[in-house]
Structure formats: C-alpha cells, structure tokens
Amino acid sequence: MGNTTVKTGAVISAYVHAYEEIEQEIAGLTEQQLRWKSSPSSWSVTEVLAHLVDHSIVVSFRIREILAGSPATLPGFNQDAWVAGQKANEEQISQLITIANGLVQYNSGLLERLSEEGWEKTGVNFKGETVSLTAIIPGFVAHVQNHLNQIRRIKQELVEKKVQ
C-alpha cells in the first residue's frame, strides 16, 4: 500500500499544480493578446483557458459518477460548441483562473480522501472504454499540458504578428 500512496500523492500533486505553468505563461499578456485569434475558427488564450475550465467541470462529474458506481456512460462534450456557445472569449481571464484553481482544489480534497480501492474504481466513457481514476487524473494533467503548448504557439504568433 505504501507505493500506491506515493504514486497517488504524486498524481494529486501534479493535478493540484496543473495550472501553474499556464498562469506563468499568460502573465503580462494584454487583454487584446489574451483575446486575439489567428483565424475565426482558432481559439484565443482566453478560449483555451475557458475550455480547460469546461474540461474540469466534466472531469469533476466523471470522478463523482465513477465513485458513485453509476452505470451511466461518462459524458463527453463538444468543446468547440461549448466555447462558441458561451462566448468564452468575452470572459475575464482572472475569473477563469479562479474557477480553474477552485475546481482543482475542490477535487483534490476528494482525491486525497480516496482509498486504494477508490482509485481503482472504473466507469465507461463515451467511447465505450473502461477508465479508472488512476487514468483520468493523469489524463487531465496531460490535457492541460497539451493546451499549455497551444498557448505557447499562440504567444509565438502574437510575437510574429506584433499583436500588442
């Protein structure tokens, strides 16, 4: 059980700190830079962060459905439609960061209370795959990292296009 405790501790720590690099990466960007899009179909930095908040909401639901032993299929979501439908580019970045960190903190308390058996509980995702919390949480962290790289690409475009 000791190795599992160390492993889950590392997973929870990575989860808790998932947004720190994004906060560092976007520090100092102007409002215009945060909302800038290279094309109408691409996402701005603000929209990327809004998507990650949406993803946090969905992951929060998935965690609770798994722990409840629900037979329901774990939900997916249409990320582009969600971002567009909520006019995410009009949200304040500070609000998104507050919400993102709040969801992570709320979920991390739950994750810290789980037994080894809780971590091994599974559900079936919208693709028909069986997934456990031991896969969902690291998957979430990897998802945040992918979008951190997207933010870095947007920042590079901002420099190239000289967006102030």
5-9, 22-26, 30-34: lowest mean pLDDT where? Answer: 5-9
Mean pLDDT (the chain, rounded): 94
> What's the CA gap between 10 and 108, in Å, rounded?
12
DSSP string, 2-62: HHHHHHHHHHHHHHHTTTHHHHHHHTT--HHHHH--SSTTSPPHHHHHHHHHHHHHHHHHH
Please list, in sequence order, all residues whose beta carbon lies within 8 angstroms of the beta carbon of residue 23, skipping any fewer than 6 positions away: 97
Which residues make beta-bridge pairs with 6?
Answer: none
Please list, in sequence order, all residues whose beta carbon lies within 8 angstroms of the beta carbon of residue 98, skipping any fewer than 6 positions away: none
Residue pLDDT, tens place only, 70-123: 999 999 999 999 999 999 999 999 999 999 999 999 999 999 999 999 999 999
Please list, in sequence order, all residues whose beta carbon lies within 8 angstroms of the beta carbon of residue 12, skipping any fewer than 6 positions away: 108, 111, 112, 137
Percent of the chain with pLDDT over 90: 94
Q: What is the token pair recorded at 161?
A: 């296009």
CB 136 within 8 A of CB 67: no
